[in-house]
Chains A and B, each alone.
Chain A
């Protein structure tokens, strides 16, 4: 029970840290990213979504991701960075790392 409590506290602190560092939570990040795609049904993207498995995912979507991160966080991801990241959560962590 103690370990679970500490784990939850750790996640909460991490989320708070990333929020204050980036002023955006992982959930907000995911929602904002989803809004960049006109063709995407709301709720398609989750923090755990492997974006390359999304139906119709293409290099055009990758360009939109890169532009989104550049415009909103001043972070420039390469094609290699995108290949390394699998989920939206991984992208978020990448932003944290680069910041």
Chain B
């Protein structure tokens, strides 16, 4: 993640009451923000390079980049990364345009690719530079997001236990989190840069990220616990058997509401949002590295991962891990 830290207490548009309420509802005290010239590709490259230094790169057969802040509209950033990492030209590479649900969806894609046994290893690169899209004058969005890029190396193992997924979508929620202008539906035009006041303290242009907090909150409370319950119940597993629940880090109030609905103890639901903010698809692997380094390295763990948000797109996975090495790397 980037070295530079921004603190919620330094945000000019918060008075004392705003700050207190913001930290109470979101849990965010600080975030990592990448400098202007650093992109999500750079952050993922740093993470992937650290993995390659440790585990080698010869038999990496696939590289999948999941992000909503690629370097360019085209070419795909995964292909750029294949070259930057000097991977074999026989490597399969493509991008996936997903945010909050991206890590879980990414795992499902890689699992599908690897399960036949023809591909041996795959790199899943996941993250966003969300701060590039938020307007400083929008206090409903700017202080929420942090930047991060992650890399996960997955290997085909004939003896591994299956992973179970429950993936869902609802495009009627498209306007809950959206950047309206800048692509095919609404190309950049004269109105794109006009600053609109949505409400006091919330100003943005059509090129900026627009969040409808209430709708997102409502969606998460309605769908996430149910999605997790359905996954657990369909696999004859009890909630108590699951060692940790890794929920996407969008908002602490959402996650606490989901935790209470599922009747899970606090210990089993680790957080990283207090120090990293909402890092989009990177939030789950970031939490694993930040909070569960020792637990994941030592012994087997049954994990439930759940990503939910922009789209709406959401999904959970139940998977067993064995001696996973994790590491947090800072990008200059």
Q: How many angstroms from the CA of A78 to the CA of B25 in the assembled complex? A: 17
A9-22 vs B, CB cutoff 8 Å, 1 = contact: the mask equals: 00000000000000
With A38-B20, A76-B222, A78-B214 in contact, do A63 and B260 touch (Cβ < 8 Å)? no
- Closest chain A residue to B15, Cβ basis: A56
Q: Is B21 located at the chain interface by the 8 A CB criterion?
A: yes
Mark the stretch among A42-50, A66-74, A91-99 that contacts chain B.
Answer: A66-74
Report the minimal beta-carbon distance from B14 to chain A, rounded to whole angstroms.
11
Please state if B215 and A70 are interface contacts (CB–CB under 8 Å). no
| B18, B24, B251 interface centre (most CB from chain A within 10 Å) | B24
**Interface of chain A, helix or strand or loop or mixed?**
helix
Please state if B20 and A59 are interface contacts (CB–CB under 8 Å). no
Please state if A59 and B22 are interface contacts (CB–CB under 8 Å). no
Please state if A79 and B17 are interface contacts (CB–CB under 8 Å). no
Q: Is B213 located at the chain interface by the 8 A CB criterion?
A: yes
Please state if A71 and B257 are interface contacts (CB–CB under 8 Å). yes
**Interface of chain B, helix or strand or loop or mixed?**
helix
Please state if B24 and A38 are interface contacts (CB–CB under 8 Å). yes
Question: Which chain A residues lie closer than 8 Å to B218 at the CB level?
Answer: 66, 76-79
User: Which residues of chain B from 110 to 145 have a CB within 8 Å of any chain A CB?
Assistant: 140
Q: How many angstroms from the CA of A78 to the CA of B222 in the assembled complex? A: 10
Please state if B214 and A64 are interface contacts (CB–CB under 8 Å). no
Question: Which chain B residues lie closer than 8 Å to A6 at the CB level?
Answer: none
Report the minimal beta-carbon distance from B307 to chain A, rounded to whole angstroms.
20
Q: Is B217 located at the chain interface by the 8 A CB criterion?
A: yes
Question: How many interface residues does A have (CB within 8 Å)?
Answer: 19
- State which of B20, B25, B261 has its C-beta within 8 Å of the C-beta of A63: B25
Q: Is B52 located at the chain interface by the 8 A CB criterion?
A: no
Q: How many angstroms from the CA of A64 to the CA of B20 in the assembled complex? A: 13
- Closest chain B residue to A70, Cβ basis: B221
With A63-B253, A67-B257, A79-B215 in contact, do A56 and B17 touch (Cβ < 8 Å)? yes
Please state if B253 and A70 are interface contacts (CB–CB under 8 Å). no
B248-275 vs A, CB cutoff 8 Å, 1 = contact: the mask equals: 0001010011001100000000000000
Report the minimal beta-carbon distance from A91 to chain B, rounded to whole angstroms.
15
B295-306 vs A, CB cutoff 8 Å, 1 = contact: the mask equals: 000000000000
- Closest chain B residue to A55, Cβ basis: B17
With A58-B18, A58-B21 in contact, do A63 and B222 touch (Cβ < 8 Å)? no
Q: How many angstroms from the CA of A63 to the CA of B221 in the assembled complex? A: 11
Question: Which chain A residues lie closer than 8 Å to B212 at the CB level?
Answer: 79
User: Which residues of chain A from 2 to 61 have a CB within 8 Å of any chain B CB?
Assistant: 38-39, 56, 58-61
- Closest chain A residue to B260, Cβ basis: A71
Please state if B213 and A63 are interface contacts (CB–CB under 8 Å). yes
Q: Is A62 located at the chain interface by the 8 A CB criterion?
A: yes
Question: Which chain B residues lie closer than 8 Å to A60 at the CB level?
Answer: 18, 21-22, 24-25
Q: Is A85 located at the chain interface by the 8 A CB criterion?
A: no
Please state if B17 and A63 are interface contacts (CB–CB under 8 Å). no
Closest 3 CB pairs of A and B: A79-B214, A60-B21, A60-B25
Can you show 15 pairs from A to B with CB atoms below 8 A apart?
A: A39-B17, A58-B21, A60-B24, A61-B21, A63-B213, A63-B251, A63-B253, A64-B253, A70-B221, A71-B257, A71-B260, A71-B261, A76-B221, A76-B222, A77-B218
Binding site for B on A (CB under 8 A): 38-39, 56, 58-64, 66-67, 70-71, 76-79, 82
